[in-house]
């Protein structure tokens, strides 16, 4: 196992462990992880929009820089759509479970 993979595993454990240790039930843990993931994803989407906009403004007519800025903008749009889909799908699942009385 290389150092990068080991670091990512340890980093994920350090991020997840406080939620698992403090939660009294699995539902609390899942809700905490969901809220954290949505907050991080939304923040990264906003940062992506700002960076892509800054790159586009600073391109100064250079075709290479404009191409890179457009790619960054497409990535920011895709990230935003993924965060919105994740949030809406979780809300839809909760609605369906509540409507049909599923546990």
Domain ranges of the chain: 25-100
More confident residue, 45 or 4: 45
Mean pLDDT of 5-13: 77
Mean pLDDT of 42-55: 93
> pTM of the entire structure?
0.64
C-alpha closest to that of 49 among 57, 60, 38, 61: 57
pLDDT reported for residue 100: 76
Percent of the chain residues topping a pLDDT of 70: 85
75 has pLDDT over 90: yes
Q: How far is residue 20 from each of residues 6, 24, 75, 91, 100, measured CA to CA in Å?
A: 21, 8, 32, 23, 29
pLDDT reported for residue 20: 60
| Both structure tokens of 4 | 């990068």
Question: Sorting pLDDT into bands at 50, 70 and 90, what band is 96?
Answer: confident
């Amino acid at each position: 196992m290389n150092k990068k993979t080991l670091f990512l595993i340890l980093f994920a454990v350090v991020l997840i462990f406080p939620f698992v240790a403090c939660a009294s039930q699995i539902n609390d843990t899942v809700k905490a992880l969901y809220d954290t993931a949505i907050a991080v994803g939304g923040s990264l989407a906003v940062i992506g929009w700002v960076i892509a906009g800054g790159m586009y403004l600073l391109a100064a007519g250079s075709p290479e820089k404009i191409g890179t800025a457009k790619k960054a903008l497409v990535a920011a749009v895709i990230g935003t759509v993924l965060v919105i889909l994740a949030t809406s799908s979780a809300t839809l699942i909760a609605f369906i479970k509540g409507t049909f009385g599923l546990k």
